[in-house]
Amino acid sequence: MTTVKEREAIASEFAEKMNEDELLNCMRCGFCLPHCPTYIESGLKESYSPRGRIALMKAVTDGLIEPDEDVERSLSLCLGCRACEPVCPSGVKYGHLLEEARDIIHQNKDHSFPVKTIRKAVFSGLFPHQERMQNMTSLLGFYQRSGLQYIARKTGVLSMLPDHLATMEKVLPKVPTKSEMKKRPTDLPSIGPVLKKVAFFSGCLMDTMFLETNKATLKLLQLAGCEIVIPKSQACCGALHGHSGEKEGAKRLAKRNIEAFEADEVDYIITNAGGCGAFLIDYDHLLQDEPTWHERAIAFTNKLKDISEILVDLRFHEKTRLKLPAQTVTFQDSCHLRNVMNTSIAPRILLQAIEGIDFREMKDADRCCGSAGIYNIVESEMSMKILDTKMAHTKSTQADIVVTANPGCLLQMQLGIEREKMGDCTKAVHIADLLVEAAAL
């Protein structure tokens, strides 16, 4: 429930803070509609479309309607996949509008005690602290290794979880041990002549649960001719905060990262998680109201590059023999990598360079898989609808491997495979892991 007082506060902040020009830029042509997953899966509900959401934000800003539960519902059901942006001829920056709106709503809501506690734990307690992320991941590791997982599965306590969460439990990767996580090097030499010096953004989830993928990424960079630094004081990118209406928290993390990456002179800052990359590349927008930081943010974002882009730039795929047993491979775009970082061709070039694989494009590969941060947990119904459509398209490629470029998408695709009971014939992998395998490293 939103109280009258909360509504009033939200409405007045909308009027004050929302970017009116951007709201007016939407000329309501509707070109974005056919690209919006929530619009499609909801049976073409205009209030779950980008055009509808912009109209609602504008109406609240103009004082035409109150920010009631339905407005909130419409906004919280948005995946934030930003598929509506590249197709918008008017160039409306939808993502920025959404972020601002969510921030206003959350900051002015007196959340219920459990929600508050969870939000606080996640946004202030957990994600900004790599140490704690490691601890939490170790807990999962303990669960997996100690036999608890076995017991939990056997006794059926998992069936007390909602269906898809129980399934999610099954697909979580085998996590590394704490000491493995701590043994992270800070400098790595290039293998062969040095072509570029890069800094690696290790990410919080990527550096704990997906440590193997990070290792693979580093290996690829070294092989492509990169000397690597991994700034120790870097932090979580802040995407989860930014997308959940915790803008201040996101700003704090952004500043820490900018500082951390200013320490070394590098040509590029490399990411291997589309979701993080897209948030990092938007730091200049996040910090636009703080002049000195804004400039530093621009310098930071100008250096950002996804792993697949730099590999293609350095012609890794031409210089290295990539080979795998004969199999069919398809690629699921990470929305943020594609729609915000503008990377969609490079991963395909790399995959097609692998001998032995038959690359098959799936229908609507650019459509969100429904993972979207914690969306698949908080909006599970819509998320699973979106995932079902995605799996139908995956199936029709008859792919043995679904390649992804973001941890969230990877887990979601694994979840989809598990739900469809396709596990025997299909698996999902991160592109870095596949490339390392193909390079026989």
Partner 1 sequence: MITKPVKQLLLSIVGPENYDDSKVECLVYSYDATPGYQAMPDAVIKPGCTAEVSDIVKVCSEYKIPIVPRGSGTNLSGGTCPMEGGLVLLFNRMNSLLEIDEENLTATVQPGLITLDLISAVEAKGLFYPPDPSSMKISTIGGNINENSGGLRGLKYGVTRDYVIGLEVVLPNGDIIHTGGKLAKDVAGYDLTKLMVGSEGTLGIVTEAILKLIPTPETTKTMLALYQDLDAAAQSVAKIISNKIIPVTLEFLDRPTLVVVEDFAKIGLPTDVEAVLLIEQDGPLEVVERDMKRMADICLEEKAVSVEIAETEADAAALKTARRTALSALARLKPTTILEDATVPRSEIAKMVRAINEIASKHDVNICTFGHAGDGNLHPTCITDARDHDEMERVELAFADIFAAAIDLGGTITGEHGVGAMKAPYLEWKLKKEGVAAMTAIKQAFDPNNIMNPGKIFAKESRKRVVVSS
> Which residues on neighbouring strands pair with residue 227, listed in sequence order?
197
Q: How many CB atoms lie within 10 A of CB 302?
A: 12
Query: Residue 190's Cα: distance from chain center in Å?
Result: 28
- How many binding residues for ligand SF4 (CB under 6 A)? 26
Is 63 among the residues that bind partner 1 (CB under 8 A)?
no
Kindly indicate which of the ranges 33-41, 185-193, 208-216, 433-441 contains the residues binding ligand SF4, using the contact rule CB under 6 A.
33-41
Instruction: Find the shortest distance in angstroms from Cβ 14 to partner 1.
Output: 14
Instruction: Find the shortest distance in angstroms from Cβ 178 to partner 1.
Output: 48
Instruction: Find the shortest distance in angstroms from Cβ 45 to ligand SF4.
Output: 11
Instruction: Find the shortest distance in angstroms from Cβ 102 to ligand SF4.
Output: 11
Q: How many C-alpha atoms does 94 have within 13 Å on its Cβ side?
A: 31
Asked whether the beta carbons of 341 and 334 are under 8 A apart, the reply is: no
Which amino acid is it at 194?
Answer: V
The CA distance from 99 to 283, in Å, is: 13
Compute the C-alpha angle 416/123/104, nearest 5°: 100
Q: What is the dihedral of CA 250, 253, 258, 260, to 10 degrees?
A: -170
Is 388 among the residues that bind partner 1 (CB under 8 A)?
no
Instruction: Tell me whether residue 317 or residue 367 sits nearer to ligand SF4 (CB atom).
Output: 367
Binder of residue 181, out of ligand SF4, partner 1, none (CB less than 5 to 8 A by kind): none
Q: Which of residues 86-115 bind partner 1 (CB under 8 A)?
A: 88-91
Q: Where are the beta strands (DSSP E) in 103-195?
A: 187-188
Instruction: Find the shortest distance in angstroms from Cβ 361 to partner 1.
Output: 16
Kindly indicate which of the ranges 27-35, 299-307, 330-338, 422-430 contains the residues binding partner 1, using the contact rule CB under 8 A.
27-35
Instruction: Tell me whether residue 76 or residue 177 sits nearer to ligand SF4 (CB atom).
Output: 76
Q: How many C-alpha atoms does 316 have within 13 Å on its Cβ side?
A: 33
Window 70-109: contact mask with ligand SF4 (x via CB under 6 A):
--------xxxxxxx---x-x-x-x---------------
Is 52 among the residues that bind partner 1 (CB under 8 A)?
yes
Is 59 among the residues that bind partner 1 (CB under 8 A)?
yes
Which amino acid is it at 322?
Answer: L
φ/ψ of residue 320, rounded to 5: -110, 140
Binder of residue 65, out of ligand SF4, partner 1, none (CB less than 5 to 8 A by kind): partner 1
Compute the C-alpha angle 288/23/242, nearest 5°: 45
Token output for 271: 């990411």
Q: Residue 305, SS3? A: strand
Find the binder of partner 1 among 15, 30, 63, 154 (CB under 8 A). Answer: 30
Q: How many CB atoms lie within 10 A of CB 412?
A: 28
Please state, in angstroms and as integers, the Cα–Cα distance from residue 19 to each residue in 52, 97, 249, 262, 328, following that order: 17, 7, 21, 31, 46
Which amino acid is it at 9?
Answer: A
Token output for 142: 């303990």
Binder of residue 21, out of partner 1, ligand SF4, none (CB less than 5 to 8 A by kind): partner 1
Is 65 among the residues that bind partner 1 (CB under 8 A)?
yes
Is 53 among the residues that bind ligand SF4 (CB under 6 A)?
yes
Instruction: Find the shortest distance in angstroms from Cβ 185 to ligand SF4.
Output: 37
Token output for 134: 């490691």
The CA distance from 201 to 281, in Å, is: 12
Is 26 among the residues that bind ligand SF4 (CB under 6 A)?
yes
Binder of residue 82, out of partner 1, ligand SF4, none (CB less than 5 to 8 A by kind): ligand SF4
Is 237 among the residues that bind ligand SF4 (CB under 6 A)?
no
Binder of residue 46, out of ligand SF4, partner 1, none (CB less than 5 to 8 A by kind): partner 1
Find the binder of ligand SF4 among 6, 19, 31, 264 (CB under 6 A). Answer: 31
Is 338 among the residues that bind ligand SF4 (CB under 6 A)?
no
Q: Dihedral sign for Cα 311, 278, 371, 212, please.
A: positive
Instruction: Tell me whether residue 41 or residue 227 sits nearer to partner 1 (CB atom).
Output: 41
Sheet with 323-331, strands from edge to edge, namely: 355-359, 323-331, 401-404, 427-430
Is 166 among the residues that bind partner 1 (CB under 8 A)?
no
Asked whether the beta carbons of 392 and 419 are under 8 A apart, the reply is: no
Find the binder of partner 1 among 71, 168, 224, 382 (CB under 8 A). Answer: 71
Site residues (vs ligand SF4, CB under 6 A): 26-32, 35-38, 50-51, 53-54, 78-84, 88, 90, 92, 94
Which residues of the shown chain bind partner 1 in the complex (CB under 8 A)? 21, 24-25, 27-31, 33-34, 43-44, 46-47, 49, 51-52, 55-56, 59, 64-66, 68, 70-71, 73-74, 88-91
